Amino acid sequence: MKLKTNKDKTTITVLNQVKYLGYVFYRKGKRRFRVHTTNIRKLKDKLIVVTDRSNGMSIEGMKTKLNQIIRGWVQYFKLADMKTLMKSMDERLRRIRMITWKRWKKFKTKI
């Protein structure tokens, strides 16, 4: 076919070391996918910005924004194995409860 390859972009390497479209390949029985650590870090950074106490966003606005971010991310990486990753994200998102608690100013409201 006489196709030219770009030597900067083309590599021959072990399958475990390849990052392709945010996925990392690994083998456990059969070949499977994981989400690359840089993509996980980007998601965590987005979640921290949205759930920050000082961003001034209402709880409903925060829920809407989180829903958009998480649904889009999960739909993109739906082929990857990420059960434990989603459990850790769920633990992080429990910050919303803390934010609501801190926004209630009066002691009577907290009771």
Q: Is residue 74 a part of any domain in this protein?
A: yes
End-to-end CA distance of the chain: 74
**Residue 14 placed within a domain:** no
User: Does some domain include residue 54?
Assistant: yes
When divided into structural domains, the chain yields a total of 1
Please check whether residue 108 lies inside any domain of the structure. Answer: no
Please, which pLDDT band fits residue 18 given cuts at 50, 70 and 90? Answer: confident
Assess if residue 75 is contained within a domain: yes
Rounded to two decimals, what is the model's pTM?
0.74
Specify whether the CB–CB gap between 77 and 22 falls below 8 A.
yes
Model confidence pLDDT, tens digit, residues 43-61: 999 988 988 877 888 888 8
**Residue 88 within any structural domain of the chain:** yes
13 domain-assigned: no
Q: Which tens digits make up the pLDDT trace of 26-45?
A: 877 787 888 998 999 999 99
Residue 74 near residue 83, CB atoms below 8 Å: no
Is residue 92 assigned to a domain?
yes
Domain assignment of residue 83, given as a range: 37-97
